[in-house]
A = this chain, B = another copy of it.
Amino acid sequence: MTGKDTHKNMATIYDVSVLAGVSLATVSRVMNNNTKVSDKTKQKVLDAMASLGYKPNTIAQSLASNCSNSVGVLVSQLDGPFYGPMMTQIETSLRVENKHVIIAAGHSDEVQEKEGVDFLISRGCDALILDVEAVSDEYLITLSNGDTPIVLINRYIEAIKERCVYLENEQGGYMATDYMLSLGHKNIAYISGPMYKLDARDRLRGHQRALAEHNVLFDPELWFEGNFREFGGIDAMQHLLTLNKPISAVVCASDQMASGAISVCLEHGIRVPEDISFIGYDNIPFPTYISPKLNTISNPIHEMGKMAALWVLKEVYKDKKVSVESCFSPQLFIRGSACPPK
């Protein structure tokens, strides 16, 4: 081997066939065991493989079989509290079936999201799991008619609903506000996500429905459009405090915004929950360990990741065993960040 030669000198199917005294096809057959091979020959082949330490070349398999056994996952952000748990589930679910995960980040930008999709498709992915927010519904509908199957996480598009794994966000929005109302709050501010996102709109709708059911008027002044991130919550709270309106509770469309908002209150000497009650959304891990422990609505993003993976296993790799569920219900978690108003 010369210095330049970095070839991996692995045994090939040919070496196995020679050692086992059978043809290439037979070796391939025992690998894929989709065709009957007599027990005797099968054993010879397995022995040969073992003694050569044979590992199939997955690239060659992919080329010959036109199936790459890889699934592309495109998410908005690789960091942040959501992606990790979701990826864990996706990776685990797929790896047991020997599929692998190729990742790309879309950074909530339309161009980058499209580039990510193109990249993953050009990489020969057998399917795509997408958690995207900047591209349009039309784009996704068109994409779903292409050669590479897609499944969407956290997005609901009527025309391709069988490919969507989503949370009932309206219901979650309702639950959060309903909880505050049932504690007796009337002066409830709402920090929403950005309105161009469906989940933000749905949560807001739920909030409004709860108010209406309790005959509380929705005051647009008490609604601030945030960005789902901590800084959005900070900006929102600072703004709300300048209003000089009585506010006894703040419902936030994300835990991160709630954290930001709470930090502003604490800095102003406002006690949580004694002076203002809070509830977040998403049930991300961190705030549990911080005081006050944040009430929240669960967003089972990890389960949605798992379901998306199972969808791929079922629809693309024709795994009969799995059954998939696409609509998830939120759940209320009561901890220490809310109490009845004074």
Contact = CB atoms under 8 A, between A and B. Distances in A.
Interface string A283-323: 00111111101000000000000000000000000000000
22 contacts: A6-B147, A7-B66, A8-B147, A9-B147, A56-B122, A57-B124, A63-B63, A77-B88, A78-B87, A78-B91, A79-B285, A80-B84, A84-B84, A95-B119, A100-B104, A100-B119, A101-B102, A256-B289, A262-B291, A263-B290, A263-B291, A286-B286
A289 to B, nearest CB: 5
A87 B59 contact: no
A247 to B, nearest CB: 19
Contacts of A288: 230
Interface in A137-171: 147-148
Given A95-B119, A103-B91, A58 B124 contact: yes
A62 interface: yes
Interface string A257-277: 001101100110000000000
Interface in A10-61: 55-60
A50 B1 CA distance: 41
A233 to B, nearest CB: 8
A295 B55 CA distance: 50
Interface residues of A, number: 58
Nearest to A121: B55
A341 interface: no
Interface in A54-76: 55-60, 62-63, 66, 68, 70
A236 interface: no
B87 A103 contact: yes
Contacts of A85: 78-79
A103 B262 CA distance: 36
A222 to B, nearest CB: 22
A298 to B, nearest CB: 16
A123 interface: yes
Given A57-B124, A84-B78, A286-B259, A103 B103 contact: yes
A326 interface: no
B84 A77 contact: yes
Contacts of A95: 104, 119
Interface string A80-94: 110111011001100
Given A286-B259, A286-B286, A289-B263, A79 B88 contact: yes
A254 B80 CA distance: 18
Given A92-B105, A233-B289, A263-B290, 6 more contacts: A59-B63, A60-B63, A259-B289, A260-B289, A266-B291, A290-B290
A123 B58 contact: yes
A319 to B, nearest CB: 16
